Amino acid sequence: MKYPKILFLFVFISINSCSYPEISRDVLIYDNDFESENFSEIDGKATSTFNNTTVLGDFNNDGFTLHLKDTGNHDYVFISFDLYIHGTWDGNLNGFPENDKPDKWIMELDPNMDLIKDTSNDRFVTTFSNSPCFSNYCLRQSYPETYPYENNPKTGNHQTNLDKICKNSFFGGETTLYKIEKGFKHSGNAVVIRFYDELYQPNAIDKDGIVQLKCDESWSLDNLKVRVISYK
């Protein structure tokens, strides 16, 4: 069956006339590499040196909160950073026969506001695994998707085999670096961003009975940037 040329012209014009919302404002409102002592907007400040740079961390079952005021009205928030995953993170399962739990990493917007809301659009919950993967045994991670999706260990990494956080400790393992950027629909004139973990380490005890949680599993963060975007 032949269609008139005018029909094809109409379809072509219709497809090409589709337009995306026009950006009216795109502003970098926060940029910190933590090399200076500029921590006025951060609760839970802890710094250390890793990979020849100053990082925020290392954290273990802990984290920090970034408070940004006077952001101007906006429609979206975009957050980017370098995330160092130190040690023996086990991803979605730790391999224990009973009461097994994942090693989660979480980024949450406005964590103390409206606790009954559906926070699926205000949180990024994922897992990481630095464990080796064999054909019959693999502790998979969720990143770059959200938990409980499954991907192979270290999927989406920027660099692997960086130093251990505790070089002289039996515990822990090498570090994996991820470069992460996430966007959230968000409005208002301020934003609060919480970064934290939920790690499960029932066996992080050395031969002397000393708990070695941070040497076993921890994380650090660097080069944190926040942008707000508005559409016309």
Residue-wise pLDDT tens for the chain (232 aa)?
555 545 444 444 444 555 667 889 999 999 999 999 889 999 988 999 999 999 999 999 999 999 999 999 999 999 999 999 999 999 998 666 666 889 999 999 987 655 444 455 689 999 999 998 888 889 999 999 999 999 999 999 999 999 998 887 767 789 999 999 999 999 999 999 999 999 988 777 666 656 688 889 999 999 999 999 999 8
42 burial (CB, 10 Å; 0-12 / 13-18 / 19+) is: middle
Note the pLDDT of residue 9. 44
With beta carbons less than 8 A apart as the criterion, state whether 215 and 5 touch. Answer: no
Q: What is the pLDDT of residues 7-28, one digit of tens each?
A: 444 444 444 555 667 889 999 9
Instruction: Identify which of 31, 87, 96 has the alpha carbon closest to the alpha carbon of residue 226.
Output: 31
Give the pair of three-digit tokens for residue 94. Answer: 């730790």
Note the pLDDT of residue 183. 95
Note the pLDDT of residue 96. 61
Note the pLDDT of residue 202. 76
Cβ neighbours of residue 223 closer than 8 Å, sequence gap 6 or more? 32, 33, 80, 81, 82
Q: Domain ranges in the chain?
A: 20-231
For residue 47, list its beta bridge partners.
Answer: 56
Q: For 20-231, give the CATH class.
A: mainly beta
Note the pLDDT of residue 97. 61
CA 214 to chain CA centroid, nearest Å: 19
Total residues belonging to the chain: 232
Note the pLDDT of residue 18. 57
Q: What is the pLDDT of residues 99-139, one digit of tens each?
A: 688 999 999 998 765 544 445 568 999 999 999 888 888 99
- SS3 call for 62: coil
